[in-house]
Amino acid sequence: MYESLKRQIQPLINVYHQFKAIFANLSYGFPSRELKVIGVTGTDGKTTIAHLIYHILSTAGKKVALVSSIYAKIGEKELKTGLHITTPDALLLQKLLKQAALGGDEYFVLETTSHALDQNRNWGIKYQVGVISNVTYEHLDYHKSYARYLSAKVKMLLSSRAIIINKDDKSFEPLKYLLEKAGRKYYTYGLKSKVDFNFNSQDEIDHSITEYNNYNYLAAYSVASILGIPQDVVKNAFKSFKLPSGRLETVYDKGFRIIIDFAHTSNSIYKVLMAISKQMKGKGKLIHVFGSAGLRDRQKRPLMGVASGTFADIVILTEEDYRTENPEKICAEIARGLKRKGFKETSPKFVVAHPKIYAVIINRQKAIKKAISIAKRHDVIVLTGKSHEQSLARGKKEYSWNEKRAVLEIINAK
């Protein structure tokens, strides 16, 4: 009944957001017209790409502003945009665009979600460049089908002067079809086929980059090329770039290592764990602590379990913004995927001797504490799903949460 009602009122919600966006544009005088807006969308990698583009433009001496899932940066100020929010409400978004224009910024990098696009929160914004990282099965609780999810992403591309898409991604063919049907030309990037932009960051940068982040670097390189940024400037920017907070961030490294990352889809979990597993080179065990958000796409949960079980040795399933869903049920749905990979359930005391085991510890703080207590030399603990976020949604309330701080508090107490 709830889902049926939600489907009926969603069009009204979208109309409300569009009127709000129209009002916001009129109130602030269509500020995006004074800026070169660069839109970044996709299922995974949006935040890293947005921060990379911002860093490249800053390194090139350009005045640039940024809105990402982590924060908004206008001039020298870092501003919060809300809990669990990537693309802000239309009024706040237009206000930030206006502040950037008044501050003399030339560029504005905007991480743009499918929800914002579907709800027309970005109405009135014409993008100078629109780049898409990938489109995998995600947010189907909202969009209801992969086709509608893809169509929402395409809305940003169709509002862009220059369009850049990932030719190596599985979404390339349907994206190509939709763009060509609309009579739009586009640029491609990739590592495996003939494309407009091909740049292997691993050949240029001293530090280790995962294949997944390699595509993020390539997307940013493609945007910089379209904007006419010299290659030597781009390469120097890559060398000095640091991943955003909570993206493959090592927060402890004494005897064993603890890494936090925002990965919350089966695709991103697979690629993050694969990269870490390769770095481990067979030494130690990979301990994965994660959950899945409540009142969100349920179909992905077993797939997340499969992705985790492909590389992890020990898994602790825990809470991740379960909202009004039963967290035990969420974990059970993830566990279906783990069982497909040969995992056996144990109690939170970890008494079962088996090559691949998992336990359910709903309280996230206790789950992290247990992972740390069982970690041995050369082991790597990977915490995914929360990363930079500052709250945990339990029931209808938001509770303060800081993943990095939680880790360090446990370590210091130990």
Please give the structure tokens belonging to residue 36: 């070169």
CATH number for the domain including 157?
3.40.1190.10
Residue at which a domain ends, from 209, 240, 271: 240
How confident is the model over 359-368, as pLDDT tens digits?
A: 999 999 999 9
The residue written with tokens 């990932």 in the block is: 166
pLDDT digits (tens, 9 = 90+) for 91-104: 999 999 999 999 99
Same domain, 167 and 300: no
Judgement on whether residues 331 and 213 belong to the same structural domain of the protein: no
Same domain, 197 and 259: no
Cβ proximity of 222 and 216 under 8 Å? no
Residue 291 in tokens: 């959950």
- Residue 140's pLDDT is 55
**Last residue of one domain, picked from the residues 194, 215, 240:** 240
Task: Identify the domain containing residue 150 by its residue range.
Answer: 2-240
> Model confidence over 122-144: pLDDT tens digits?
999 999 999 999 998 665 566 56
What pLDDT is attached to residue 145? 82
pLDDT for 220 = 97
- pLDDT score, position 2: 45
Q: Which of 135, 74, 68 is nearest to 102 (CA)?
A: 74
SS3 22: helix
Domain count, the chain: 2
Q: Both 23 and 102 in a single domain?
A: yes
6: confidence class by pLDDT, cuts 50, 70, 90: low
pLDDT of the residue at 12 = 80
Q: Are residues 323 and 189 part of one domain? A: no
Which of 215, 240, 265 delimits the end of a domain?
240
pLDDT digit string, tens, across residues 155-203: 999 999 999 999 999 999 999 999 999 999 999 999 887 999 998 776 6
pLDDT for residue 142: 67
E strand intervals along 262-351: 286-290, 314-317, 344-345
- Whether the CB-CB separation of 302 and 337 falls below 8 Å is answered with yes
Rounded to the nearest angstrom, the gap between the alpha carbon of residue 10 and the centroid of all alpha carbons in its chain is: 24
Instruction: Write a three-state SS string for 299-311.
Output: CHHHHHHHHHHHH
Interatomic CA distance for residues 88 and 124, integer angstroms = 14
Question: Which of these ranges, 62-66, 84-88, 392-396, has the smallest mean pLDDT?
Answer: 84-88
309-342 residue pLDDT tens? 999 999 999 999 999 999 999 999 999 999 999 9
For residue 1, pLDDT beyond 80: no
> How many Å apart are CA 145 and CA 17, to the nearest integer?
22
